[in-house]
Amino acid sequence: MYLYQIEVKKKSVREAASDVTKIVIDLWSKARIPFQRKDTILAKIEKLHNEFGNVKRNKGRSGSQARMREEAFKEKKNLFDVAAANALDILTNEEDTSFLSAQREPGCRGKIGSVDTQLAAVEARTAQRREQQERHRQCAEEEASTSVTTVELASSSASAKETADESGDRGEARPTKRSRRAAKSVITPSVAASLDRTKMNDRGAVYMMSAAAHSLGHDVSEFNINRSSIRRHQQKHRMDGVALKEELRGGCTLTVHWDKKLMQDLTTKESIDQLPILVSGNRTVQLLNVPKLPNGTGSEMAKTVVRTLKDWELTERISGMSFDTTASNTGQNNGACVLIEQQLKKDLLYFACRHHILELLLAAAFRTVEATSGPNVTLFKRFQDQWQFIDQSQFESGVSHPDVCPLLDSVDKD
């Protein structure tokens, strides 16, 4: 099914894995077995795809390592187990427990049958009973809150009357105090952007932010947390985004920049590829997106860059590309630069990162002096440690050193 999505429907690895994840979740839901989170299942499918790719690439090899990988992959033809770690402890139905244990055996003994009408009727009655209990509980709470409110109103009116009598005896009139609305706003542009990015509605944001403020030891009544304020800030943030896109829709040409970084995911704690994408031109620099990548290939980077440019409606204004000199960017056939030009259907200027190019020159020069195989060079490390003790106002250029001058005389004459 996964290979059908890749090879026949020509979907990307992430899209195919997402579609298969939905099917897997649907099957495990029908089996009534607790399963893992969606992102965990998605990561397992992508990992299995990578292992299949490694086995496929090494198919013609006869080495022991390739054979071991192939045999290890063949052992995974049994159940694609995405059950929760404590599934056997959670399951209360002995039939479901036995089915899961049988499926984990070699050969996946057993199969999902038709609907158990007797069990479904029992569960329907249980759900109906719980719903009735919940309605009774809510009615009881409403009655209790109504009675408390009545008592408070009665006591407050009595107190107001006594206060008015005392003020009348003294010939004074006291103004009534009006409750002040909380003035502390917690909805910053970054918070509004996070709510939009996570697709959280204003009602859910009120619950989440109130609970967060209370857990941090703050008085929730001091903060302006309500649905209307959150919705107003979100709308303002969206309008700012629209205005920012309008500002970029000028007539000047732009250069697109991207640089893949390996970072730790905030949710799964796994190392993932992220691709910051920005444009520059006419004294303007704007970050467009920092999407996750399913892999670090040039094809995936090119697809992500072009999709981002289309979202911002900037494809017609791009005239150059700024990138580092890795093979995934500069490859003649599958490099990101070539693929971006093909997808945009025009030639672009190449602005390779000078920093990476000079690193190659420096590395070649340094190898003639001292060979090293590790990232930490002893000479540079010692120089870094002693930097604070060096008189930085007194220095001499290496070109004027007596050992270097004779070597450069021929160059100067030429």
Flag whether pLDDT at 315 surpasses 80: yes
Distance (Å, rounded) from C-alpha 132 to C-alpha 126? 10
Q: In this structure, what DSSP letter does residue 373 have?
A: -
Q: Let me know: does 250 contact 209? Beta carbons within 8 Å.
A: no
Flag whether pLDDT at 300 surpasses 90: yes
pLDDT higher at 151 or 8: 8
Distance (Å, rounded) from C-alpha 320 to C-alpha 257? 9
Flag whether pLDDT at 341 surpasses 80: yes
SS3 (DSSP) at 175: coil
Flag whether pLDDT at 279 surpasses 70: yes
Q: What percent of the chain has pLDDT over 70?
A: 74
Backbone angles phi, psi at 288, to 5 degrees: -95, -45
Of these ranges, 2-11, 263-272, 384-393, 400-409, the one predicted with the greatest mean pLDDT is 384-393
Distance (Å, rounded) from C-alpha 264 to C-alpha 271? 4
Predicted pLDDT at 250: 67
Flag whether pLDDT at 155 surpasses 50: no
Distance (Å, rounded) from C-alpha 366 to C-alpha 358? 12
Predicted pLDDT at 86: 77
Q: What is the pLDDT of residues 354-374, one digit of tens each?
A: 777 787 787 777 777 766 666
How would you list the strands of the sheet with 292-293, edge to edge? 261-264, 271-274, 292-293
Q: Let me know: does 44 contact 79? Beta carbons within 8 Å.
A: no
Given the DSSP bridges, would you call strands 277-281 and 284-289 parallel, antiparallel or unpaired? antiparallel
Nearest residue to 33 via CA among 112, 106, 105: 112
Q: Let me know: does 186 contact 209? Beta carbons within 8 Å.
A: yes
As given in the structure block, the two tokens for residue 315 are: 């494809």
Q: What percent of the chain has pLDDT over 90?
A: 11
Flag whether pLDDT at 146 surpasses 60: no
pLDDT higher at 46 or 115: 46
Length of the chain (residues): 414
C-beta atoms surrounding 51 within 10 Å = 14
Distance (Å, rounded) from C-alpha 96 to C-alpha 75? 25
Predicted pLDDT at 258: 93
Predicted pLDDT at 251: 72
Q: In this structure, what DSSP letter does residue 115 have?
A: -
Q: What is the mean predicted confidence (pLDDT) over 310-337?
A: 89
| Percent helix, strand and coil across the chain, each to the nearest 5 | 60, 10, 30
Distance (Å, rounded) from C-alpha 97 to C-alpha 93? 7
Please report which confidence band the pLDDT of residue 235 belongs to, taking 50, 70 and 90 as the band edges: confident
Q: Burial, 33: exposed, middle or buried (Cβ in 10 Å; 0-12, 13-18, 19+)?
A: buried
Predicted pLDDT at 164: 47
Flag whether pLDDT at 77 surpasses 70: no
**Domains of the chain with CATH codes:** 2-113 (no CATH), 189-247 (no CATH), 251-357 (3.30.420.40)
Flag whether pLDDT at 1 surpasses 70: no
Show contacts of 45-52: CB within 8 Å, 24+ apart. 45/2, 45/17, 45/20, 45/21, 46/13, 46/14, 46/17, 46/294, 48/76, 48/80, 49/2, 49/13, 49/17
Predicted pLDDT at 154: 43
